[in-house]
Amino acid sequence: MTIADTSAPMRRHKLGNVFPAAVGLGSLVAFFVLVELLIQIGVLNRFIIPPPSEIIESFPRVIVEEHVVARFFQTLTECLTAGVMLTVFGVAGGVLMHRFKLLQQACETWIAAMASAPIVLCYPLFLVIFGRSAWTIIMMGFVSALPPVILKTIEGISSTRKVLVNVGRSFNLTPSQQFWKILFPASLPTIFVGIRLGLIFALINVVGVEFLINFGGLGQLINEMAERYDLAGTYAAICFVILVSVLFFMAVEKVERWLTRTD
Amino acid sequence: MDSSASVDAILKVDDIVVRFDTPDGILTAVDDVSFGVKPGEFLSVIGPSGCGKSTLFNVIGGLLSHTQGNVSVAGETINGPHKSIGMVFQEESTFPWRSVTDNVAFPLELTGMAKRERIERARHFIKLVGLDGFENRYPTELSGGMRQRVSLARTLASEPKILLMDEPFAALDEQTRLLLGDKVLQIQQELKQTTLLITHNITEAVQMSDRILVMTYRPGKVKRIVDIDLPRPRSSEIVGSEAFGRYVAQIWADLREEASRGMRDEEDHALHQHDGAAS
């Protein structure tokens, strides 16, 4: 094989990484161009969907006049707090329910039912308990996101391959060693699926409750913009919510890779 | 039972009976099985599917309680997993979240050995199973045979008095199986490791063993113990010898009747289930 031949697969590999990302970005740009075009020729109503060009133009205004950075960090902090709480309490809850079968049999069904319930409608109750504060928003995000983390933790531990448990038993592990050295690391990938799902629920509820109680970060900004009928500004604020979501997912992915390190 | 073997045996299995309560009534999986394994000996237990080989493996390893009888290591009765017995399982059992070194160092970590020392020890066993150069790889990056070698190295790292293996190469192709058999033989000879292999593969059993215990189909009893008088050190090249062929034929003659019984039993069971579902 010649030197040129050996370099070919590497070049293909590099291209292989860049190409999907370029297609993804290109599709997004093509979609915005299409929407812009449909609005400009009057197929889509510009008073319902603002042209993407106007949304882009509104960014500097939203950033400077609406203190979007401070609001962004407020929403981010609320999501982060809810995320940390739901990871700690959700995983611990799942572990406890797996450990005590009676607890699991008694609670698993209604926790699963809770996952699909519109808990956001309970916000008046949370307002009474925590007042019109960030804690109402955080607790709403936390409570509504808890079920998937608990359920996926139970699933992860229960589905640990029996042979791995037997390896632990053959080495005479204590129950605590069996959990920390085998069950927990084996169930981490499934637990992270639960945490990812939980973060989606938490973000939706945090922004939703900010919107509903007109308090706090980006949700409140979206509410205010919508009431002013500033559609371009509303969509620009929504872009920042998407940015929070992207940041969260990147962070969770990094933590998962660091913890599992299987490749 | 071979009394001469049991006198100076390091592992003694005496009158083991295992019964299970099933929806169809009491099932006797293992019935009155007794044998001994001498220090440094390689003994294989062979039998058809359903003869209770894996049940026996779990009982000796302390993962399953027996209904009657006694298992002892160097005179000490064991009633659960014991540090003197190292188990290698049939299913792939490496920890996917640990590198090869960390997998092999696992039992050393449990003893509280310092990190540097346990990594050094782990590297020794990795080299022993022929995986040097793969220390930092993860199990997902290895083939099935390499992963089983990692499991073997992990068990050897705990320095057990008795190595207990349950069809460790069952999922591998014949060529890999023969080559890994060579590797196990080489390790066994180097460490003088007392080994008990559970298998349904006659070639594998004859290639590696000093003695082979043939079991009957359900309930699993000792049918015969065959001494394998082939020269050591051995390798997979021995499969071409005339003596090897004679042992294989002899054991197959014993097993054939049992395997046929097992097959008939399975067919009857399937027919019974089909009739039950139809009515």
ipTM of model: 0.88
Q: Return the SS3 of A223.
A: helix
What token pair was written down for A24?
């993804």
Class of domain A60-259: mainly alpha
Q: Give CA–CA dist A79/A77, Å, rounded.
A: 5
* A positions 170-199 inside 8 Å of B (CB): 170-173, 177, 181-182, 185-186, 188
Chain A positions in Cβ-Cβ contact with residue B63 (cut-off 8 Å): 166, 169-170
Q: Give CA–CA dist A25/A146, Å, rounded.
A: 33
Shortest CA distance from A178: residue in chain B: B110
Chain A positions in Cβ-Cβ contact with residue B110 (cut-off 8 Å): 171, 173, 177
Query: Mean per-residue pLDDT for B123-129?
Result: 93
Please judge whether B95 and A166 are an interchain contact, meaning their C-beta atoms are less than 8 angstroms apart. Answer: no
What token pair was written down for A198?
């939980």
Chain A positions in Cβ-Cβ contact with residue B91 (cut-off 8 Å): 161, 163
DSSP symbols for A121-190: GGHHHHHHHH-SSHHHHHHHHHHHHHHHHHHHHHHHHHTS-HHHHHHHHHTT--HHHIIIIIIHHHHHHH
Q: Give CA–CA dist A186/A195, Å, rounded.
A: 16
Mean pLDDT of chain B: 89
B176: closest CA of chain A, how far (Å): 22
- CA angle B6/B7/B13 to nearest 5° reads 30
Shortest CA distance from A185: residue in chain B: B97
pTM (two decimals): 0.81
> pLDDT tens-digit profile of B43-83?
999 998 888 999 999 999 999 998 999 999 999 998 899 98
pLDDT over 70 percentage in chain A: 93
Does residue B243 register a pLDDT over 90? yes
B12: closest CA of chain A, how far (Å): 19
Q: Which of A163, A165, A167 should one mutate to test binding to chain B, selecting the residue with the greatest count of B CBs within 10 A?
A: A167
Q: Give CA–CA dist A121/A208, Å, rounded.
A: 10
> pLDDT tens-digit profile of B250-268?
999 988 888 887 788 777 7
Amino acid at B173: D
pLDDT over 90 percentage in chain B: 62
Chain A positions in Cβ-Cβ contact with residue B83 (cut-off 8 Å): 172
Does residue A171 register a pLDDT over 70? yes
Shortest CA distance from A184: residue in chain B: B97
Query: Mean per-residue pLDDT for A155-173?
Result: 95
Residues 6+ positions from B79 with CB-CB distance below 8 Å:
B62, B65
Q: Give CA–CA dist A145/A151, Å, rounded.
A: 11
Predicted local confidence at residue B6, as pLDDT:
57
Does residue A123 register a pLDDT over 70? yes
Does residue A263 register a pLDDT over 70? no
Does residue A235 register a pLDDT over 80? yes
Amino acid at B141: E
Beta-sheet strand order (sheet of B25-37):
B25-37, B11-22, B68-73, B76-77
Q: Give CA–CA dist B112/B26, Å, rounded.
A: 44
User: Could you tell me how far CA A177 lies from the centroid of its own chain?
Assistant: 31
Query: Mean per-residue pLDDT for B31-46?
Result: 94
Beta bridge partner(s), residue B183: none
Most confident of A12-16, A197-201, B106-110, B229-233: B106-110
Please judge whether B82 and A262 are an interchain contact, meaning their C-beta atoms are less than 8 angstroms apart. Answer: no
Amino acid at B201: N
Chain A positions in Cβ-Cβ contact with residue B166 (cut-off 8 Å): none
Chain A positions in Cβ-Cβ contact with residue B81 (cut-off 8 Å): 169-172
What token pair was written down for A47?
């008073």
E strands in B60-189: 68-73, 76-77, 85-88, 162-166
Buried b (16+ CB within 10 A) or exposed e, B157-196: bbebbbbbbbbbbeebeeebbbebbbbbbbbbeeeebbbb
Q: How far is CA B229 from CA A103, B5, B234, B240, in A?
A: 59, 15, 11, 15
Predicted local confidence at residue A261, as pLDDT:
64
Please judge whether A172 and B97 are an interchain contact, meaning their C-beta atoms are less than 8 angstroms apart. Answer: no
Q: Which of A170, A256, A263 should one mutate to test binding to chain B, selecting the residue with the greatest count of B CBs within 10 A?
A: A170
Query: 């293996």: which residue's tokens?
Result: B165
Whether the CB-CB separation of B164 and B88 falls below 8 Å is answered with yes
Does residue B108 register a pLDDT over 90? yes
DSSP annotation of B220 reads B
Please judge whether B89 and A161 are an interchain contact, meaning their C-beta atoms are less than 8 angstroms apart. Answer: no
Q: How many helices (H) and strands (E) does chain A have?
A: 11, 0
